[in-house]
Structure 1
Amino acid sequence: MKIKEIIVVEGKDDTVKVKLAVDADTIETRGSAVNDSVIDQIRHAQATRGVIILTDPDYPGQRIRSLIADKVPGCRHAFLPKSEAIEKHGRGVGIEYASVESIRKALRDAQYMDKEAAEQITKEDLVAAGLIGGPDSKTRREAVGQKLKIGYVNGKQLHKRLIMFQITREQFAEALMEVLEEEQS
C-alpha cells in the first residue's frame, strides 16, 4: 500500500514499523518537544504532499497531535486503539508495538478534523450516554472512539473530537447503539 502523504510519527522505531506496513515517507517529531524546525518540515509537507499524523495512543502522543494540528491546519489524523499498540509485556504503548495490519487500517481510516464545525452533540448527550461521569465511561468512550475512528480520548476531549470530526447525531447514535449491544452480549 503506497501512501502519497507524509506520515508524522514520534520516533525512529515508529518509522521502521510504518515502513513495514506501507510504502511511505515519514517525519519524526523526536519526542513531545516539537521544535520549530520540525513544524516547518510538516508545514512544507502539508503544502506539497499532505500530512497524516499518526502518534502514540497516549497522553504525549495526543499532546504532539494537538500541537501539530494547531500549527499546521488541514492534516489528516490516523488513530490506533491503545489495545492494538501495547508492548507484549504490557510495559509500553506505541506505534512501534502495533501490528502491520493495525497500522494499515489506521492509515486507511485517516480523517480530516474541522475545528470550525457546528456543534451537533452536546456534553449533556455524552453524560446521558454514559460516556462521561459513569462507572463504565472510560471503557464505553474507548469503544465509541474505535467505532467512530476518532481514537480514545478522555471525557473533556471527546466532545471536542466529535465536533472536529463533524460526527453527526446519527453517526454518534449508531456507534453508541453498537457499543451498548456489545455490552449486553
Structure 2
Amino acid sequence: MERVREVIVVEGRYDKNTVSQVVDATVVTLGGFAVFNDKEKLAFLRRLAEKRGLIILTDSDGAGFLLRNYLKGALPRDRVKQAYIPDVKGKERRKRRGGKEGKLGVEGMSPTVLLEALRRCGATFEDRPPPERREAVTKADLVALGLSGGEGSAKKRRLLLKRLDLPEHLTANGMLEALNLLFGREELEALLAEERGFDKV
C-alpha cells in the first residue's frame, strides 16, 4: 500500500473507509455540512494544512463542490491540493437510492480511480520523487485556446472536462487549477491539437 504524506479530507466515514483501503494516509472526515458551523474542526484542518498539507477529496456532485469551495476560502490555498473524482453514474451498494444527481461518490470509486485522482492532484507519495515543474497554464491561455470568454467556450470546457474524466461542476477557475495539476501549457496545447473537431465547436 502506497503512503501519502498529506492529510486527505473526505466528506464522511464511508469515504474514509474506502480511501483507507487504498493508501496509507491520515484521513479526516468533515461530517458533511456540519463543518460549516464547526470552528474547532476548521482550526484543526488549518493546523494540519500548515504541518502536513491537505488533499481535498469530495464527491463530484453539487454538495461535494459546496464543501470544496467553502474549504478553499477557509484554508491556506498554498497548503491545499484538490483531488477530483470523475462523474460516474450509479449508486453505492449500501444505499437504497442514489444521490440526487445519480453519481457515485468517493466511497463508490475503485482503488485505481482513487489512486489516479491522488496522483493527478500532486499527492506526495513517500517513496516517489516529487513531480517535475512545468510551465503553468494561465487564464490567458484558456482564452487563447477558446476555453474561456468566447462563443462556444462553455461547450468546449464541458467536452474537455468529459474527455479528462473531470467533474462537470468545475468552474473555469476550478478547471484551470485542475489542468495545472495534470499538464503543462505545451502538453495541454498538444492534447487539444489531437482532439479532432474540438476547435470546430
Q: Same fold (TM over 0.5)?
A: yes
Q: For the structure 1 residues 37 and 6, does the alpha-carbon distance in structure 2 shift closer, same or farther, using more than 3 Å as the test?
A: same
Structure 2 partner of 1:105:
116
Give SS of 1:108's match: helix
CA distance in 1, matches of 2:56, 2:154: 27
The C-alpha deviation readout for 1:56-94, integer Å capped at 9, x for no partner, is 0111111111111211122011111012x7426882421
1:143 matches 2:144: no
Which structure's CA Rg is the greater one?
2
Q: Give the counterpart letter for 1:80 in structure 2.
A: I
Displacement after TM superposition at 1:108 (Å) = 1.5
Number of aligned residue pairs: 168
CA distance in 2, matches of 1:67, 1:177: 35
Q: From 81, 97, 100, give the equivalent of 1:76.
A: 81
Runs (4+) off by over 6 Å: none
CA distance in 2, matches of 1:97, 1:61: 14
CA distance in 1, matches of 2:185, 2:152: 16
> Which stretch of structure 1 is more off in the superposition, 93-102 or 166-175?
166-175
Q: For the structure 1 residues 164 and 99, does the alpha-carbon distance in structure 2 shift closer, same or farther, using more than 3 Å as the test?
A: closer
Please list every run of 5 or more consecutive structure 1 residues that lacks an aligned counterpart in the other structure: none
Displacement after TM superposition at 1:24 (Å) = 1.0
Give SS of 1:120's match: helix
Displacement after TM superposition at 1:122 (Å) = 4.4
CA contact (8 A) 1:3 1:24 kept: yes
The C-alpha deviation readout for 1:85-135, integer Å capped at 9, x for no partner, is 7426882421010111111111111149xxxx852234581266955158x
CA contact (8 A) 1:53 1:76 kept: yes
1:8 matches 2:9: yes
CA contact (8 A) 1:120 1:163 kept: no
After TM superposition, the score normalised by the length of structure 2 is: 0.69
Displacement after TM superposition at 1:174 (Å) = 3.0
CA distance in 1, matches of 2:169, 2:195: 17
Greater relative contact order (CA < 8 Å, ≥ 6 in sequence): 2
CA distance in 2, matches of 1:78, 1:27: 14
| Correspondences of 1:104-123 after superposition (within 5 Å) | 104-111=115-122, 118-122=138-142
Q: Give the counterpart letter for 1:105 in structure 2.
A: E
